[in-house]
Amino acid sequence: MACAAVVLLGSAVPAVAHPLSTSAVLLDVDRTSVTATVELPLDELSIAWDQTLTATSVVDAATSAKLRAYVQADLSASDASGQPWTTVVTGGRVEKVDGVDNLVLDATLTPASGSVGDFVLHDDAVIDRLVSHRVFVSGRYGHTGPYTTLAMLSWQTQSVPVASASAAAPADQGFVPAVRLGVHHIASGSDHLLFLIMLLLPAPLLAAGRRWRPRPDPGWAGLGRSSVRVVHVVTAFAIGHSCTLALGALGWVHLPARLVESGIAFSVLVSAVHAIRPLVRRGEVFIAGGFGLLHGLAFAAILGDLDLSRTSLVTTLLGFNLGIELTQLLVVALVMPSLLLLSRTPVYPVLRVSVAALGAVLAAGWLAQRTGLIPVNPLEPVGDLLIDHPLALAVGLGVLAVTLAGTSRARTTRPAPQLEPGARVRLQTSDVSS
């Protein structure tokens, strides 16, 4: 064979001078079916169909039905044995890709055998009418991470062989990828992060009736007690979500996704309210543990999507959970020192209540969205900020903490706390045992 390899270059560059748009077929390869996101640029689609298709006209009922049927007829897959699969095309929305409006359709390709082995994808949509059109086919396994380009279909070839998920398993499954998946999942889940942050907000404080007040024991002793409280919160959350993650992943506990997701939104709301006014003494520990159970079920749903065999499940479960715990500890490490410093300043009550109130509103938005009261959470961008710029936020918080702590220390003339190693041990012990 003379054909050696296909090398891809400069794929992210928008075509400024020659926007001869390409279609894209993005495959998510599962165990029992393959889902495909099909992106069809309207400029090329218009030429192919010899009619002007706009972002509005392409999604009118008749046109989108016609184009769904067209893609359904042109997009197919077959087993290694040649056995054809069924194709079902749904959806019909318009998204901009490289500055060009694309009609985006969702296709599901299902093998008659019920199990996805290696297969051949065939697609001549648009190419059959517009000969110079090109289609980029890319795929991924496990529904996460970037897509890998598999082929560029053109007038020369409209088929591409695709490996099954099991063939890709060594790279895609196992302990380390599972850890990565865990990190990725919690780091990109603003609700989980916000829950944790809401619980950390009052950790440097003491509940006195229905109010939060600063610890009476300044200096290292108070710091120690606060740290122990953080350990309690983090441990309770870890125990809570680990239990249900295992039970859920093993299939022994199952709750409807909508209920779980709504419950998580509710948990953020409760933790935010608790950060404003203590609901129960040591409430943050109970909230962390109790609602941790719900968060665990959401984590389990991610593993469920991977459709793992029992043998790989334990490895994946451990890795995934480790990823979650590591990320959780990282959040604590990034946020807690600043909170501890800030809690010694007079502005902490205002800051705590403001952040908690923002968290409460965001959580209320999620709750309304997830229970179906509103279509989208208008505050979603605020939540996205948390996952898009975590380091910038943490650094900002740190700078704020150091600045404020510095100025308040300069104003007070309180002497540095006297340290007695023995006292520290005693205080910690008493705190743990109480």
Q: Which residues bind other proteins (CB under 8 A)?
A: 2-11, 13, 15-20, 22, 44, 47-48, 50, 128-133, 136, 152, 154-156
Q: Which is nearer to other proteins, 7 or 391 (CB)?
A: 7
The nearest distance, CB 1 to other proteins, in angstroms, is: 9
Q: Across-strand partners of 84?
A: 78
The nearest distance, CB 159 to other proteins, in angstroms, is: 14
The nearest distance, CB 97 to other proteins, in angstroms, is: 11
Which amino acid type is present at position 370?
R
The nearest distance, CB 73 to other proteins, in angstroms, is: 17
Q: What angle do CA 187, 192, 197 make, to 5 degrees?
A: 95
**For residues 105 and 90, is the Cβ–Cβ distance under 8 A?**
yes
Distance CA 107, CA 35 (A): 6
Number of C-beta neighbours around residue 231 at 10 A: 13
Q: Report strand pairing: 159-162 vs 205-208.
A: unpaired
The nearest distance, CB 93 to other proteins, in angstroms, is: 22
Distance CA 88, CA 380 (A): 32
Distance CA 23, CA 34 (A): 18
Q: Report strand pairing: 119-123 vs 75-79.
A: antiparallel
At 149 the three-state DSSP class reads: strand
Q: What angle do CA 146, 150, 388 make, to 5 degrees?
A: 10
Q: Which is nearer to other proteins, 7 or 416 (CB)?
A: 7
Q: Which is nearer to other proteins, 16 or 376 (CB)?
A: 16
Distance CA 403, CA 397 (A): 10
Candidates 137, 133, 146; CA nearest to 38 is 137
Per DSSP, 114 falls in state: S
The nearest distance, CB 129 to other proteins, in angstroms, is: 6
Candidates 164, 110, 116, 128; CA nearest to 48 is 128
At 102 the three-state DSSP class reads: strand
Per DSSP, 212 falls in state: E
Q: Which is nearer to other proteins, 6 or 373 (CB)?
A: 6
Number of C-beta neighbours around residue 36 at 10 A: 24
- To 10 degrees, the CA torsion angle through 380, 383, 388, 393? 140
Q: Which is nearer to other proteins, 11 or 413 (CB)?
A: 11
**For residues 172 and 165, is the Cβ–Cβ distance under 8 A?**
yes
Q: Which is nearer to other proteins, 16 or 171 (CB)?
A: 16
**For residues 24 and 39, is the Cβ–Cβ distance under 8 A?**
yes
Q: Which is nearer to other proteins, 130 or 334 (CB)?
A: 130
The nearest distance, CB 158 to other proteins, in angstroms, is: 13
The nearest distance, CB 124 to other proteins, in angstroms, is: 11
Q: Which is nearer to other proteins, 158 or 343 (CB)?
A: 158
Q: Which is nearer to other proteins, 3 or 376 (CB)?
A: 3
Q: How far apart are the first and last CA of the chain?
A: 75
Q: Which is nearer to other proteins, 4 or 410 (CB)?
A: 4
The nearest distance, CB 37 to other proteins, in angstroms, is: 17
The nearest distance, CB 153 to other proteins, in angstroms, is: 11
The nearest distance, CB 307 to other proteins, in angstroms, is: 32
Quote the tokens at residue 395. 């650094």
Q: Which is nearer to other proteins, 10 or 381 (CB)?
A: 10
